[in-house]
Copies of this chain bind each other. A is one copy, B any other.
Amino acid sequence: MKQLTRGLIALAIGAVIWLIPVPEGLQAEAWHLFAIFVATIAGFILQPLPIGSIAFISITFTALTGVLKAADVLSGFSATNMWLIVSAFLFSKGFIKTGLGRRISYMLIARLGDRTLKLGYILALSELIISPATPSNTARGGGIIFPIARSLSSAFQSEPGPTANRMGAFLMQIGYQGNVITSAMFMTAMSGNPVIVLLAAKALNIDISWGLWAAAAIVPGLLSLLVIPYYLYKCYPPEITHTPTAKSLALTELEVMGSMSFGEKVVAGVFTGALLLWGTSQYTSLDATVVAMMAVSAMLMTRVLEWKDVLEEKGAWDTFIWMGSLVGLANFLSKLGFIPWLAKVVSANMAGISWIPALLLIIAIYVYTHYGFASMVAHIVAMYSAFITVATALGAPPYLAALSLAFMSSLCGSLTHYAAGPAPIYFGAGYIDQKTWWQQGFAISVINLVIWVGIGSFWWKLLGLW
């Protein structure tokens, strides 16, 4: 389909909604903002232009038509959570630039890597270790873990094509699915997570701190990280199972890297400090954004990060603009009363259904609509607020609804080869065909639902969250 056609479809969707008479109980601005919002999301899905362009055009239109004032339209750009994301992108850059991420993985392989399954667990463990400081899950997956998975595969003569299943396909699956799981585990492990915290605060008036998020996610997260690689090992087995030479390979890589550089030491120190400060934020009441900014400042002062690195970190600016635009619009969808109104209408139509089946249905819809999204964050901004508001309006406990959908926002990434930033990277390596990816992705989404919602909800009960 041509770009122009796709653009016109997105516009038409917005125009139709705009022209529908404003429903009773709603301001005209709220309804028109909803029309713009839907057209924007349609644009994100159809992509007649890059999503940054669409977001920029969309806020321009919103200000031009006076649906929102210019200052309100731009309000997302000074949200602290947006700067947590920018700072954390820059933090990741330090990890990649200095090579510390690679070193951690190779150290683990040198100690433990004598079997293919263990190599898989090591990839997942490496993901876990660095995830709290790499909210760009694309940078973490694509920049740090993927290259290791790729070079390990080659080292064992597993290339795309006939030898893909010797080891490469297996490691690619674990690399990617591990990324999806760790993305759900820390507020700072995926760029959409701070947005979730913001949206949950606005919609349900609940405060999810860095520590609370980590505590709620640690049990289901570790379970997933144990179960999924094992599941893949059983249902998608690599032909090579023993890798006696992996340790020496890793040692060679470590030798090439030499001893830890000044930059690596700084990043390691800053990372440890940031983890400590994030983990203790309930006592120090230090904002997570301020901690991330301190980490970046430390790297700037030591010149481990140069200012030109900051300016060249296009991923940060891309995310900042389109997400900041959308966060501004989404905030005002709530403020102008659209989300509460929607929740009231939907829950009135679902009256009589008890909250447990309702919540399960809502979670399932939330997860599987991700087939339509090429970005976790777009999905979150489009649907998270409305879904948690409806769920709680139907009687679901706020934290239960907010956390289930928060974690599922990352975990739905398992589904497709375009579901999240690292997906096209792992898929593009050519080890896994689309059919296999979708089949395994669906199976894994079910396993994750059972672990995170099924078992997780008991854990959150134990934590006293509902």
Contact = CB atoms under 8 A, between A and B. Distances in A.
A460 to B, nearest CB: 28
A56 B317 contact: no
Interface stretch (A295-303, A334-342, A385-393, A396-404): A295-303
A64 B314 contact: no
B63 A290 contact: yes
Interface residue SS majority, chain A: helix
A297 B60 contact: yes
A107 B83 CA distance: 46
Contact of A56 (B78, B287, B296): B296
A50 interface: yes
Interface in A34-56: 49-50, 52-53, 56
A222 to B, nearest CB: 31
Nearest to A285: B66
Interface string A281-324: 00000110110011011001101001110111010011001000
A77 interface: yes
A24 B50 CA distance: 55
A59 interface: yes
Contacts of A61: 297
Interface string A70-106: 1100111111100100000000000000000000000
B307 A49 contact: yes
Contacts of A296: 56, 60
Nearest to A328: B78
Given A49-B300, A311-B317, A314-B312, A289 B56 contact: no
Contacts of A112: none
A76 B74 contact: no
A60 B312 CA distance: 21
A63 to B, nearest CB: 5
A196 to B, nearest CB: 18
Contacts of A317: 311, 317
Contact of A293 (B59, B300, B303, B314): B59
Nearest to A301: B57
Nearest to A288: B70
A57 B287 contact: no
A76 B77 CA distance: 9
A60 B310 contact: no
Contacts of A287: 63, 70
Given A70-B290, A77-B83, A317-B317, 13 more contacts: A49-B301, A50-B308, A52-B310, A56-B297, A56-B310, A59-B293, A60-B290, A61-B297, A63-B289, A64-B290, A71-B78, A310-B321, A311-B318
17 contacts: A49-B300, A49-B301, A50-B306, A50-B307, A52-B310, A60-B290, A63-B293, A70-B80, A70-B290, A71-B78, A71-B79, A74-B78, A74-B79, A74-B80, A311-B314, A311-B317, A312-B314
